[in-house]
Amino acid sequence: LLSGLLPDTYPRYSFEHARMNSATLDPLGSFYRQQLDQGFRFLRFADDLENNFRASHKVSGLKQLRIMLVLGFFFGLSFAIFDYFLNGLGFSSSSVPLQLAVNQPMLLLMLLATMSATGQRLLTPLGITVGLVIGGSSYLFETKAQLHSIGAAVTGTLVSIIYIYFFLGLRFWPAVVTAVTVMIGFFIAEFVAAAPGAAIFFNGMFISFTTLIGAVGSYNLEHSRREAFLEAGALADLASRDQLTGIPNRKAFDDHLAMLWAQCKRDRASLVVALIDIDFFKAYNDIYGHQAGDGCLTQVGLEIANVGRRPLDFAARYGGEEFAVILPGCTVEPGEALIERLRERVQALNIAHKGSKVARSITISAGVVSVFPHATDRSAQGTVQMADESLYMAKRAGRNRVCVTEPEHVAAGQTGVFRVGDILEIA
């Protein structure tokens, strides 16, 4: 079941997000709130929510990542320029032009990747690669003499580790793996170069503590980002839910319908919309009281929330005692059968209703319309109006039943009308 739209600081609501919030969740629960309550000690959410967070992490951090990559590019370039001029119009070591030739193209490649959708999907492996290249170049291209100097060889590696943690847009675990790999590579390079034991020990201390400190800082930063992501999602989820029944509200229905309508139109798929009304609900409130009425709405709402088990099936409270259901990719026969089973389940709740004229318990009436968005001139809201007309037909036919408007009748149906008694009058 859909749990809500994300705020503007996060990616707009997607169909992947809808799948994440399908009927596998408790209709009264918030996916985000559940994750907050469970915690995420290892910086990992449930699978679909994790995918959504990673997508938002990439999008929200693109601008900052570009700035960091540009800074890294010009830092490496300025280092080469200073080395050239400060050492007598020439490079003091062949390692400098080698680092320049390897590091700068990698940074430019990652910067270009941030400019396209395809490249953005590769940012994590690119970030790891760039981190390893920068870290490796800081010691692999050093001369044997430089490796023997305590502190001289370690400086570039220290900067590389900090850059990996905070400047390549990597999440915590990829950053830790990359930084630890660079640290291990440093020790290997020191031993291969036969560096003095004192150099290995002291440089190793600096490298190890920098790796640890960077890991703690990176962990805390990502934990805060994840917590903010969940809190924002929980607030948006709360705003999109009906406070009484706990299922999505009218606004969430309108937003979801617009998106599914566009999706079905692109895919040339069918769409079923149903409006459902509790029969003689005013009489129920008059007899049993409004608190009992609220309890009735909640029980019926839970049944309606579970009407569809496919990922994008959606149910909401439309207003008062009315509910709405969207079944994308569904045709008229299975749609009618699904709503008919819902009608039977609601009646099977056996909620006593002495004021009903059709049964001794609570019943519902439903209007169902099936439409192909790509093959009709009607709008999404016009289709809802057709479902409302079908619902009215169900009521006129005696209630406690399902009436259907099939695709071939949608174009001929009259919408944009007000009802007065049993008469249809043009608005």
Per-residue pLDDT at 265:
94
pLDDT in tens, 216-256: 999 999 999 999 999 998 888 888 889 899 899 999 999 99
Q: What is the C-alpha to C-alpha distance for residues 15 and 251, in angstroms, rounded to an integer? A: 17
Closest to 196 (Cα-Cα) out of 158, 154, 143, 149:
149
Burial 155-165 (b: 16+ CB within 10 A, else e): ebbbbbbbbbb
Q: What is the C-alpha to C-alpha distance for residues 319 and 306, in angstroms, rounded to an integer? A: 18
State how far the alpha carbon of 108 is from the alpha carbons of 68, 69, 228, 236, 262, in Å. 11, 8, 31, 38, 38
Contact 416, 427 (CB under 8 A): yes
Per-residue pLDDT at 8:
34
Q: What is the C-alpha to C-alpha distance for residues 90 and 74, in angstroms, rounded to an integer? A: 19
Per-residue pLDDT at 91:
65
Considering the entire predicted model, what is its pTM?
Answer: 0.68
Strands 423-426 and 322-328: unpaired
Which stretch of DSSP H or E encloses residue 274?
Answer: strand 271-278
Backbone angles phi, psi at 194, to 5 degrees: 55, 45
Q: What is the mean pLDDT of each run of 10 residues along the chain (427 residues)?
A: 31 37 44 90 90 85 92 86 70 71 91 92 93 84 48 74 93 96 90 82 91 96 94 88 91 93 94 96 96 96 87 91 95 94 96 95 96 90 93 95 78 46 38
Q: Specify the residue for token string 């490298």.
A: 207
Per-residue pLDDT at 411:
52
Helix, strand, coil percentages (3-state) for the chain, rounded to 5, are 60, 10, 30
Contact 2, 253 (CB under 8 A): no
Give me the DSSP letters along 106-134. HHHHHHHHTTSHHHHTTHHHHHHHHHHHH
Which stretch of DSSP H or E encloses residue 146?
Answer: helix 144-147
Strands 314-319 and 364-371: unpaired
Per-residue pLDDT at 106:
93
Token duo for residue 426: 């043009």
Per-residue pLDDT at 311:
75
pLDDT in tens, 253-269: 999 999 999 999 999 99
Give me the DSSP letters along 3-32. --PPPTTSPPP-HHHHHHTSTTS-TTS-HH
